[in-house]
Amino acid sequence: MAGHTRRAALTGAASAAAIGLSPGTAHAVGGRRHGGTTFVFAAGSNGAGTTVDELALRGHRCVGVTPPGFADTAGQYRRSYQAPQDLAALATEPSPLAGVTLADQVDATVAVVRRAACLGPVVLVGGSIGGATITLVANRVPELIDRLVYDTAYCCTELASPDEYLRTPEGAASEVGELLGFLAADPAVIGAVRSNWRLADPDLLATAKRVLIEDGTDAELFALLNSMAPDEILGKGAEDSRGDPRGWGRVPRAYIRHARDRVLPLPLQNRMIAEADRRTPGNRFTVFDLDTGHVPNVAKTAELIEILDRLARRRS
């Protein structure tokens, strides 16, 4: 497996953030009802799409997408992954994600969007490599999505894939490759990218904290790692994920930049925003900023939710 593909497969460790529309701002399409906003959280890397409980408490529906293979907890969370770990078995046991593709993940997300669209406006959210998924979903069903939200996420337009963006000068500063120390198996053997997030090596954990959640506590780091499934789809970052102006380009979109992100450096985020805006000059990104790393800590997440809640209540 190519190094850049392995790097890209690790870039979605963050849980997604969301942005909303006020109830009634979207028109009914194909029998859709004028209900409250539903936030659909696409999966990033190493797990299902997460939801934000506080947004639900503030009156917004939230649903996370579980892609094919990730619901197989018996396959993902095996005995060899528990302490004391059987590292030899972990390195050879087949993955439930063997043969699963990004297209399968897109299909699963489209299915959730279709159900949510029956209730009212849909805001589709993708964090990190989940941006590739939401772009492809928008290519398929733009009429069912009221807004796309890229939370420090890949938005491919001029280049085809997340892997290609990591090879740009703006992407070269990414430190996601530092997480390769967590890899636990040969992808060609198990049919997926497998990481052992339960390693206790202090140097490796310090690296993970710096790269993923630098302004978090150790407890927040451990909670993050324990929320991530060990296996991820093979070759996900190499897939063509470009937005089509005829589909994706019709959907209003927002980008939440993370100023201190070490996975998707700020210059890379800016490049993708600029390229997307050039592709659809009549439908440009609305941009918001957070002074945080790839994964916000508790305090920064609270700031984010305040912004998102205000946006959800504001008419577009």
Residue 307's Cβ-count burial label (10 Å; 0-12, 13-18, 19+) is middle
Q: Which two tokens stand for residue 266?
A: 């700020």
254 within 8 A of 290, measured Cβ to Cβ: no
Q: 3-class SS at 97?
A: coil
pLDDT tens-digit map of 28-66: 334 444 578 889 999 888 876 677 788 889 988 899 998
The residue ranking higher by pLDDT, 266 or 23, is 266
Cα separation, 132 vs 15, whole angstroms: 15
Residue with tokens 């979207």, as numbered in its chain: 26
CATH superfamily name and code, 38-313 = Alpha/Beta hydrolase fold, catalytic domain (3.40.50.1820)
Mean pLDDT of all residues in 226-249: 95
137 within 8 A of 145, measured Cβ to Cβ: yes
The yes-or-no verdict on residue 10 having pLDDT over 80 is no
Give the residue from 107, 99, 109, 117 showing the smallest Cα distance to 43: 109
Q: How many other C-beta atoms can be found within 10 angstroms of the C-beta atom of residue 283? A: 15
Cα separation, 109 vs 312, whole angstroms: 22
**pLDDT score at 46:** 86
Q: What percent of the chain has pLDDT over 70?
A: 85
Mean pLDDT of all residues in 63-92: 82
pLDDT tens-digit map of 118-137: 998 899 999 999 999 999 99
Cα separation, 155 vs 242, whole angstroms: 7
- 41 Cβ contact partners less than 8 Å away, ≥ 6 residues apart: 16, 18, 49, 50, 51, 52, 62, 63, 64, 65, 125, 126
Cα separation, 46 vs 98, whole angstroms: 14
Cα dihedral 138, 257, 300, 63, rounded to 10, equals: 0
The yes-or-no verdict on residue 11 having pLDDT over 50 is no
Mean pLDDT of all residues in 97-119: 95
pLDDT tens-digit map of 145-172: 999 999 999 999 999 999 999 999 999 9
Give the pLDDT band of residue 77 (cuts 50, 70, 90). confident
- Which amino acid belongs to residue 277? D
| Range list of β-strands (E), 154-302 | 193-194, 231-232, 253-258, 286-290
Global pTM reads 0.88
Cα separation, 233 vs 194, whole angstroms: 9
Sign (positive/negative) of CA torsion 44, 47, 49, 52? negative
CA–centroid distance for 17 within its chain: 9
Give the pLDDT band of residue 12 (cuts 50, 70, 90). very low
pLDDT tens-digit map of 242-287: 999 999 999 999 999 999 999 999 999 999 999 999 999 999 999 9
- Domain-wise residue ranges, the chain: 38-313
Cα separation, 20 vs 260, whole angstroms: 24
